[in-house]
Chains A and B, each alone.
Chain A
Amino acid sequence: MSERSPLLYVFLLVPVGYLVSLIGFPILYNLVMSLQEVNLGNIDTLWRPFLGLQNYRDALADPTFRKVFVNTLVFVSANVIGQVGIGCLVAVAFTRDFAGAHFLRGLLLAAWLLPALVVGTVWKWLFATQSGVINYFLASLGLIASPVHWLSDPSMAMTALNIAHIWFGMPFSMILIAAALTSIPDELYEAAALDGAGVLARFRFVTLPAISPALLAVACLVTISSLRAFDVIFAMTHGGPLDSTNVLPLFSYQASFQDFDFGHGAAIGMFAFVIVFAVALLYVRLAYREQEL
Chain B
Amino acid sequence: MRRRDFLLHGAAAGAALANAPAFAQAPKTVSLWHIYNNDSDMIHLGIRKFHEAQTDYRIEQRLVPYVQINPELIRAIATGSPPDLVTINDPDLASYSSQGQFTDLTDRVAASKVIDVNKYFKGPQTSDRWKGRQYSVAREVNTLSLYYNVDMFRAKGLDPDKPPTTWSELAAAAEKLADPAKGVYGLGFAAQQSEQSTFQWLPWLWQAGGSIDKLDQPEAAEALGFWADLVQRKLTSRDVINQPQGDVMSAFLAGNSAMVVNGPWELPRFRREVKFEWRVTLLPVKDGRNIRASSLGGFHFAIPKGAKEVDGAFRVIEAMSDPALFREGWSASGLLAPRSDIEIADPAWPQAYAVFREQMKTAIQRGPHPQWSQLSRPIQTAIQEALTGTKPAAQALKEAAAKIQPILARTPL
Q: Which residues of A contact B (CB under 8 A)?
A: 39-41, 43-44, 124, 128-131, 149, 151-154, 157, 237-243, 257-260
Contacts and interface: CB of A to CB of B under 8 A. Distances in A.
A259 B388 contact: no
Contacts of B239: 128-130, 149, 151-152
B101 A40 contact: yes
A43 B70 CA distance: 13
Given A241-B193, A260-B373, 10 more contacts: A44-B77, A44-B78, A131-B183, A152-B237, A152-B388, A238-B193, A240-B242, A241-B241, A242-B390, A258-B373
Contacts of A243: 193, 381
A259 B374 contact: yes
Given A39-B99, A257-B70, A259-B371, A239 B241 contact: no
Interface in B78-110: 78-80, 95-96, 99-101
Contacts of B371: 259
Interface in B170-225: 183, 192-195
Contact of A40 (B74, B79, B183): B74
B99 A41 contact: yes
20 contacts: A39-B99, A40-B101, A44-B77, A124-B242, A128-B239, A129-B238, A130-B239, A130-B256, A131-B183, A152-B239, A152-B388, A154-B384, A154-B390, A238-B193, A240-B192, A241-B241, A242-B193, A242-B384, A257-B71, A257-B74
Given A40-B99, A43-B78, A242 B242 contact: no
Contact of A260 (B95, B183, B390): B95
Contacts of A238: 192-194, 242, 244
B169 interface: no
Contacts of B95: 40, 260
B384 A240 contact: yes
B388 A239 contact: no
Nearest to A239: B193
Given A43-B74, A131-B183, A257-B74, A241 B101 contact: no
Interface of B: 70-71, 74, 77-80, 95-96, 99-101, 183, 192-195, 237-242, 244, 254, 256, 306, 371, 373-374, 377, 381, 384-385, 388, 390
Contacts of B74: 40, 43, 257, 260
A281 B9 CA distance: 63
Nearest to B76: A44
B224 to A, nearest CB: 15
Contacts of B238: 129, 149, 152-153
Nearest to A155: B388
A40 B256 contact: no
Contacts of B193: 237-243
A243 B385 CA distance: 11
Nearest to A236: B242
Given A43-B77, A44-B80, A242-B388, A152 B373 contact: no
A149 B79 CA distance: 45
A256 to B, nearest CB: 8
B241 A131 contact: no
A176 B137 CA distance: 55
Contacts of A242: 193, 381, 384-385, 388, 390
Contacts of A258: 70, 195, 373, 377
A241 B80 contact: no
A40 B242 CA distance: 30
A130 B240 CA distance: 11
> Which of A129, A157, A257 is the most central at the interface, judged by chain B CB atoms within 10 Å of its CB?
A257
Contacts of A124: 242
Contacts of B244: 238
A53 to B, nearest CB: 21
A241 B193 CA distance: 6
A240 B373 CA distance: 16
Contacts of A259: 371, 373-374, 377
A60 B183 CA distance: 44
Contacts of A240: 192-194, 241-242, 384
A152 B390 contact: no
Nearest to A253: B71
Given A40-B101, A41-B99, A124-B242, A241 B71 contact: no
Contacts of B80: 44
Nearest to A153: B388
A259 B74 CA distance: 12
A41 B377 CA distance: 22
A131 B239 CA distance: 10
A152 B389 CA distance: 11
B242 A151 contact: yes
Nearest to B78: A43
A136 B292 CA distance: 41
A47 to B, nearest CB: 14
Nearest to B70: A257
A215 B146 CA distance: 55
A33 to B, nearest CB: 10
A239 B192 CA distance: 10
A151 B218 CA distance: 30
B396 to A, nearest CB: 10
Contacts of B101: 40-41
Nearest to B380: A240
Contacts of A237: 193, 242
Given A41-B101, A154-B390, A242-B388, A130 B237 contact: yes
A285 to B, nearest CB: 35
Given A44-B80, A131-B256, A152-B238, A241 B99 contact: no
